[in-house]
Amino acid sequence: MIDFDSFIPDEITIAPKHPLEQNLELPIPDTQNAEEVREIQRRDRIPGVVKRTIPLDHEVSWEYWWCVPDRLLLPEDAELMKRDRDRLESILEKLVWLFGGYCFSQHCHRQGDRLPVHDWQEVLAFARQQGFESYLLDIDFLPTAIKRDNRHSNSAKDKTDLGHIAVEPAHWHIEFFKLATTNGGFEMQEPKPVCSCQIWTGKPFVKHLHTGETSTRYDLWVSRPLDITQPPWY
């Protein structure tokens, strides 16, 4: 039996301190040259991660260390993320138990109803099937989105009338990834195989404005990640 008061205890919502915490807010020039940014990181020991806040609900949030796009990951960054993975998975396993998780690879169908898994170990087994014996986790929270959508309309009239509404309930999107060594540290391994688990608070769907016909779809992508980081990365 699970005790609600300790479902996600306060102590596991806090990310561990970065060993280079004093360098997190050192300035990086606004430049399109990724290698120039990485050279500054190597010189000044500026981390390639920032602390990201992920909502559980409107009152409770939790933190994790998130990789800033195109930045070098210092050895200290990689070690911190590896060390923190167990804490993150202890949260994710409870969300999967509560809501269910939907696993996707490159060739999985994203249309129609799917059966969720309620055991985090099944998610990890799926990841191993995709080649992720070792891995790190990239986590997004996407709030509820309701948008007009004509991508799924079948007729010219539907497209003119924007015949559907697309609805994505709030959800968490977890991507598995690996690190590759590079000059002075690490970077996300590319190409990155698609391997994700989505934890939905409700079914995503499109609904026809005229007929009311509804269909479940996991390929809408109308919501955008909530991006709360400290320090801001952009």
Three-point CA angle 97, 170, 231, nearest 5°? 100
| pLDDT by 10s per residue, the chain, length 234 | 566 666 889 999 999 999 999 999 999 887 778 899 999 999 999 999 999 999 999 899 999 999 999 899 999 999 999 999 999 999 999 999 999 999 999 888 888 899 999 999 999 999 999 999 999 999 999 999 999 988 755 555 545 555 899 999 999 999 999 999 999 999 999 888 899 999 999 999 999 998 999 999 999 999 999 999 988 876
Number of domains in the chain: 1
Q: What does the alpha-carbon distance between residue 138 and residue 16 come to, in Å, rounded to a whole number?
A: 16
The predicted structure's pLDDT at residue 51? 97
- What is the span of the domain harbouring residue 24? 4-230
Around Cβ 48, how many Cβ atoms within 10 Å?
A: 24
